[in-house]
Amino acid sequence: MPHWLITDLVIVTIYGLLHTVLTTKPLVALYNTLFPSYTWNISYSIVSVITLVLGFHYWESSGVYLFQLTPGSLAYHASTFVLAFSLIAFFYFFKFTTSFWQWLGVKQVVLRVRGKEQPAYYRVRQEGIKRYIRFPHHTALIVLFWAHPVMTLDTLFLAVSATIYLYLGTYHQDLRGLAAIGREWQEYRANTALLIPGPRVIARMIRDIYSGDEGRDSPERKAAESGVPERSPQGATFASEESTA
């Protein structure tokens, strides 16, 4: 086995195991007994940044190119467009989910300092892209890993590993949503895609766009029209719905 593959495999394995263990119920419960629970998300984000920086620092290149799109070519422009679009989409999707600062855990700490109520965690959101995909941020990240105009063996390994990790982590989050909310989340699951929309969801998306019905029947819009605030499940103590997987 090549040295670069051994090194990169160790990095990917350590990152995956570390972040999987950190999100288990026993570890979260232990953290909450040692530290304030509202600091969990920001602590997790800090650990994520540190491990990512270390991982990319020690990452080894294979030096083997699978393809390298020619700058200025149609394929190169298409690749860079998709790359930029996925990055923009990642941040834009926060419009329909938890805020970016809540996702990082900063909002929880700020609200605590100000003596305000903590934001709700798991709840069904069906505005915009969330009407069709339950975890659109992770979809954008998967596209981001695959849309590069230059692909080497090690970047291919990274893309495959990241896709597997994101899928497993997202599936785990989906089950936590089901456990926290129950029947409402089950109904939401039945009409949406986890990450990649299938033909049925795509057909509904196209139909809604042409008819102008995007999100018309969502709980958020109904609540706004009726003047009754949307209710979130009581007692949900897991990490944020859109937290890092």
pLDDT of residue 233: 35
Secondary structure letter of residue 243 according to DSSP: S
pLDDT higher than threshold 80 for residue 245: no
Rounded to two decimals, the pTM is: 0.82
pLDDT of residue 126: 87
CB 58 within 8 A of CB 146: no
Q: Which of 113-122, 146-155, 213-222 has the lowest mean pLDDT?
A: 213-222
pLDDT tens by residue, 67-109 = 999 999 999 999 999 999 999 999 999 988 888 888 899 999 9
pLDDT higher than threshold 70 for residue 227: no
CB < 8 Å & 24+ apart, contacts of 71-77? 71/149, 75/149, 76/149
CB 101 within 8 A of CB 220: no
Break the chain into its structural domains and give their ranges. 63-226
CB < 8 Å & 24+ apart, contacts of 143-148? 143/82, 143/86, 143/89, 144/83, 144/86, 144/87, 144/90, 147/79, 147/82, 147/83, 147/86, 148/79, 148/83
What is the average pLDDT across 143-172? 95
pLDDT of residue 124: 85
The residue ranking higher by pLDDT, 76 or 119, is 76
